[in-house]
Chain A
């Protein structure tokens, strides 16, 4: 297997949470491979392990067993600094709750990752991104002045600020209405096609899930089904 063609290579990936004395096995040893440039939906009911999977891939958490290689890096062997480097330069995260910084304007929010990465010369990129997600007129607005869909667009722009290879979206449309949800997915689709970004998006919305290239069905920590979308149903 040639590693560099893969964005994610997971073998027997297991995640156990310890809650008091109880052990919760959120992922029960799944094998997943995601190619670069793929748009993958993670489908499944609540508690299936979608978020867990995204967090592991996003280097926000560490897996318990098995191996997880993200962009040629074996996450198990990375230290704090290297994990942080992965997050900073290679991964972008979008949350269901948007999680924008309240005091900062849309533009400042998008600039923040660039600022953290000390790449000031890239600051204009933030403006481009906001234009790209269709918020040219909204740049200097604070999050409270934006609608849910707009906020999620800002969040997506922010996730793309450091030009990541993989965009991880955990139920990005969970707080949006159907129209806005669809728009967000269209945006993701576009980004995938035009910017060649690997997108992994968790959702339990069937219609939206099938807008991706591939849908991985999770249930109780196991992969139930892994299907390529040959023909868009919707």
Chain B
């Protein structure tokens, strides 16, 4: 072949523009193909990483569309459905369950509306056993610490772990089992005693009643609540949640069996409404803090310094004194009194994924405020001019109102970079998540690992047959991967066919270019034959030209693909994020196999498309060729 190289090159060079255009055509086709294949491997790897990084093999969620669930499982976006947290204990009964961890995923719309903060409420104990790969990052970094002398926050350079996980709960509610069978759950915040008259007898001497008193020891029980410094609180209001889903914010006051709500609209004009008990689902207090965050709950008591806000579901009755005589056992063995004020400051511990920390420039020890937009339904009254009567009329309209809210956290730790979706997430303790986001007893998913994955079908059947679990869905992550890959496959087939059309078109382009040049060179080919070129010589020459075009096209296309890869990646991300789940990390990856494969493919294209023009050229009769050129 070497002997034709000079000639082939020169004849291609003679038709520069046409040759370059054809090379460009082949290049584009190859670029499309290379990118697609690169996407295929990259995406698969990224997905593998995301799914493999889940740590658990099975996910139980509330029933929904499988793809949506898959998306929720991997990306944390989608319309959520909830399980109740008693499901965990029920599923745990199944003998096949090795580990089980409840999770609550809360997507928060960013204040600017440009995306989500995805918060995961996790149960650290079980979660870290299922996902040991989630580690606190290490390295040189800066931390915010409180200077013990001055009490001021200072920045300190540290080499070592970047913080840590949430502090283990030092205080867990006690369960106090009474002799009469009742269970009181709460925090023991103090001891007390009271005297009780056990008997009253008439003293015949004094003629007075004599009381026998006995002192009973008691424990003071308080349910979990939070303290908010009054200096931080800028406003106290109320929130009335109606059964129809609307919320009324304002001053709420109960009057007999109704609730009076005084609300203010944006202009500050007051409206007053009364709602019957039947309409009202929940009444809560709402504290507005300096930083804009809002706290919902019940103000249980207030001191000069603090408001003590309890969770509505837990706060009744908020305190109880139980006589020790009545107590059968304490869950802790003996009453342990905790310093309530020390432990329940209004701050939630948070651990950040690597990217979440990077993008927010966040350091360990620092306060983090996530400003979010939450949509609530509100009823507003409006005055309009009735078009019929021409009189002013008042109507009630339901609107979706954004409520801007801010959640306060304290950064406890930063996680090691995993290359998966986890990097962008925020982790807090499950109870905290349920409390601050008002998702009482709610879970979005339960991660499970089985003793024997092969028994998954039986396990699934058992779960589905237990009606008391409600509408649940058992998804194996292998299935999730399958579902997503299937979906991507469909898209890929579509794009692949585009690629193949591009290749086909470029094939025709190549054939056309070479055939044209063959016809233009009819005479030259005749001459070459007259001076001793064999049919095979001519065939090889033309063939070589085609292969050169395609090989150059292949190189060109691969270069475009590699250098344009970042761009293609961005494009795919935009398109795919509309569809739901996009894995983290590089989703377009070029392996040597792809590049070599596509290059060889381009040469094969040359070999194939060259055959016909080369054959045509070789078959030319010398004399006719010479003549035709005249």
Most A Cβ at <10 Å: residue of B11, B523, B530, B535:
B530
State A43–B402 Cα separation when bound (angstroms). Answer: 104
Are A108 and B623 in contact (CB-based, < 8 A)? no
Identity of the chain A residue whose Cβ is nearest the Cβ of B537 in the assembled complex: A116
Question: A113 touching B623 by the CB < 8 A rule?
Answer: no
Judge whether B3 and A115 touch: CB under 8 Å. Answer: yes
In chain B between 574 and 630, which residues have their CB closer than 8 angstroms to a CB of chain A? Answer: 621-623, 626, 630
B13 close to A103 (CB less than 8 A): yes
Of residues 41 to 69 in A, which have CB atoms within 8 Å of B's CB atoms?
55, 58, 60-61
**Residues of chain B contacted by A102 (CB below 8 angstroms):** 14
Q: Does A87 contact B (CB under 8 A)?
A: yes
A-chain residues with CB within 8 Å of residue B524 when the two chains form the complex:
99, 101
Taking the nearest CB of chain B, how far is it from the CB of A161, in angstroms?
8
A101-B530 in contact (CB<8A):
no
Interface pair B626/A60, CB less than 8 Å apart: yes
Contact (A55, B3) CB under 8 Å given A60-B530, A112-B528, A116-B528: no
CA–CA, A95 to B622, complex, Å? 13
Q: Which of B10, B11, B531 contacts A116, CB < 8 Å?
A: B531
List CB contacts (< 8 Å) of A82-128 with chain B: 84, 87-89, 92-93, 95, 97, 99, 101-104, 108, 112-113, 115-118
- Chain B residues with CB under 8 A of A55: 623
Interface string of B518-551 (1 = CB under 8 A from A): 0000011001111111110100000000000000
Distance in Å from the Cβ of B218 to the closest Cβ of chain A? 109
Alpha-carbon distance between A76 and B6 when the two chains are bound, in angstroms: 36
Q: At the interface, yes or no: A71 with Cβ under 8 Å from chain B?
A: no
Q: How far is the CA of A103 from the CA of B12 in the complex (A)?
A: 10
Interface size class of A (residues with CB under 8 A): 20 to 34
Interface 1/0 per residue, A14-56 and B, CB below 8 Å: 0000000000000000000000000000000000000000010
Contact B534 A84 (CB under 8 A): yes
Q: Give every chain A residue within 8 A of B537 (Cβ-Cβ).
A: 116
CA distance A104 to B622 in the complex (A): 20
CB pair B14–A88 under 8 Å, yes or no, is no
A101 to B530, CA, bound (A): 13
| Among A81, A87, A118, A161, contact of B530 (Cβ-Cβ < 8 Å) | A87
Q: Would A60 and B14 be within 8 Å (CB), given that A84-B535, A116-B528 are in contact? A: no
CB distance from A126 to the nearest CB of B (A): 12
Q: Does B7 contact A (CB under 8 A)?
A: yes
Instruction: Tell me the smallest distance from the CB of B621 to a CB of chain A, in Å.
Output: 8
Closest Cβ of chain B to A190, distance in Å, is: 21
Residues 1-31 of chain B: 1 if any A CB is under 8 Å from the residue's CB, otherwise 0? 0010011001101100000000000000000
Q: Return chain B residues, CB-CB under 8 Å to A60.
A: 529-530, 622-623, 626
B535 partner, pick from A58, A80, A118, A158, beta carbons under 8 A: A80
Contact partners of A104 in chain B: CB under 8 A: 6-7, 10
A199 proximal to B (CB < 8 A) = no
**A55-B623, A103-B11, A104-B10 given; A88·B530 CB < 8 A:** no
Q: Which of B7, B531, B626 contacts A113 (CB 8 A)?
A: B531
Determine if B532 and A162 form an interchain contact, defined as CB atoms under 8 angstroms apart.
Answer: yes
A95 touches B626 (CB 8 A): yes
Contacting residues, chain B, for A84 (C-beta < 8 A): 529, 532, 534-535
> Is there an interface contact between B623 and A93, defined as CB atoms closer than 8 Å?
no
Which residues of chain B in 207-228 are interfacial with respect to chain A, using CB atoms and an 8 Å cutoff? Answer: none
Asked if A58 and B530 make an inter-chain contact with CB atoms under 8 angstroms apart, the answer reads: yes
Bound Cα distance from A53 to B437, whole angstroms: 102
In the complex, what distance in Å separates the CA atom of A101 from the CA atom of B13?
14
Interchain CA distance A101-B521 in the complex, whole Å: 10
Within the complex, what minimum Cβ distance (angstroms) separates B56 from chain A? 69
Q: How far is the CA of A116 from the CA of B527 in the complex (A)?
A: 12
Contact B529 A87 (CB under 8 A): yes
| List of B residues within 8 angstroms of A70 by Cβ | none
The answer on a CB contact under 8 Å between A103 and B14 is yes
Can you name the residue of chain A whose Cβ is closest to the Cβ of B622? Answer: A60
Known: A102-B14, A103-B13. A113 touches B523 (CB 8 A): no
Complex Cα distance A97/B10, Å? 21
Contact, CB under 8 Å: A61 / B534: no
Which residue, of B523, B537, B622, has the highest number of chain A Cβ atoms within 10 A? B622
How far apart are B630's CB and chain A's nearest CB, in angstroms? 8
Cα distance A92–B14 in the bound complex, in angstroms: 27
A-B pairs with beta carbons under 8 Å apart, 21 shown: A60-B530, A60-B626, A81-B534, A84-B529, A84-B532, A84-B535, A87-B530, A87-B532, A95-B527, A101-B7, A101-B527, A103-B10, A103-B11, A103-B13, A103-B14, A104-B6, A112-B7, A112-B531, A116-B3, A116-B533, A117-B532
Q: Give me the interface of A with B, judged by CB distance under 8 Å.
A: 55, 58, 60-61, 80-81, 84, 87-89, 92-93, 95, 97, 99, 101-104, 108, 112-113, 115-118, 158-159, 161-162
User: Which chain B residues have a beta carbon within 8 Å of chain A's beta carbons?
Assistant: 3, 6-7, 10-11, 13-14, 523-524, 527-535, 537, 621-623, 626, 630
7 closest cross-chain pairs (CB), A and B: A88-B532, A103-B10, A60-B623, A113-B532, A61-B623, A99-B527, A116-B533
Extra contacts besides A88-B534, A93-B531 (15): CB < 8 Å: A55-B623, A60-B530, A60-B622, A60-B626, A84-B529, A84-B534, A87-B529, A95-B527, A95-B626, A101-B527, A101-B528, A103-B14, A112-B528, A116-B3, A159-B531
